[in-house]
Amino acid sequence: MSAPGSTLLGMRIARYSVEDTIHYGLVELADDGGAAPDTVSELAGDPFAGAVHLTGVRHDLVDVRLLAPVLPRSKVIGAAKNSIPGQDNPPASAELPAIFLKPNTSVIGPGEAIQVPQLSQDTALEGELAVVISRISRSVPIERVPEVIFGYTVANDVTARDLMQRPIPWGVAKSWDTFTPLGPWIVTHLSIEEASSLRVDSLVDDESVARGSTKGLIHGIAELISFVSSVMTLLPGDVVLTGAPAGSAPIKPGQTVSIEVEEIGVLTNAVIGA
């Protein structure tokens, strides 16, 4: 049985607004050095709910507002300590993946502001590859994980690191509103093998502060998705953050942060005080 969105293989799927109306669309990037504009072609329907089709309406990308490419219907799941920053191909771990939940209310899109809470004096970025789930998934065997992946996007798992040291639930440090930027779109053409070898670069005010690769994930994409689905049912549009192979770096109000994942794109957000 084909999953929702299976007809969109090899595409960049964006969620955007124009004239205060939200749409999904197919992004086409110009490859001629900028002589032609990047565009987005409007889709009718919901890629996570069933069939979609092009409406014939097209916009220059600069004329629309990109939103988070998916607003998870139920949850964002993160993988804690799933990499050794700066190390590719880490040794396999016999321990189960450590996972945590982030509310869907923490999700924002490209260009929206990350708000540093007043309680935190040490908030940090964590650039990651995010996996977007295509259909209801429960106890998925590793070999069948590709069947439940809609695509991949860029994520910033913002963390108030100092709050993790207090006697409060650990996940609170990652759950504030605006602490899960996603974008700029979802790509559907990558295999798990390709997604497992992507460069991840985190920048603050255009200066690289952390670099790594998804080769550095301790629990790989298929293993992670299979495990998470054995713990909880995954729903269409749920997002799994795979871990920060480049590590973290502090951010402060007034700065601009960007996460670039090779083959996907760049996610940029300003940082402000709450």
CATH number of domain containing 40: 2.30.30.370
Whether the model clears a pTM of 0.85, i.e. scores above it, the answer is yes
Residues 62 and 124 in one domain: no
Report the range of poorest mean pLDDT among 65-74, 115-124, 166-175, 178-187: 166-175
**258: in domain:** yes
What is the pLDDT at residue 63?
96
Distance (Å, rounded) from C-alpha 121 to C-alpha 43?
Answer: 43
Q: Give the total number of structural domains in the chain.
A: 2
**Both structure tokens of 20:** 């205060």
Residues 141 and 45 in one domain: no
- The residue out of 66, 98, 116 marking a domain boundary is 66
What is the pLDDT at residue 3?
45
**174: in domain:** yes
- The residue out of 24, 44, 66 marking a domain boundary is 66
Distance (Å, rounded) from C-alpha 245 to C-alpha 198?
Answer: 10
Burial class of residue 78 (count of CB atoms within 10 Å of its CB; 0-12, 13-18, 19+): buried
**106: in domain:** yes
Q: Name the DSSP letter for residue 109.
A: -
Residues 57 and 83 in one domain: no
144-161 pLDDT, tens digit each? 999 999 999 999 999 999
**71: in domain:** no
**14: in domain:** yes
164-187 pLDDT, tens digit each? 877 667 778 999 999 999 999 999
Give the residue numbers spanning the domain of 62.
6-66
**1: in domain:** no
Ramachandran sector of residue 32 (left: φ over 0; alpha: ψ -120 to 50; beta: rest): alpha
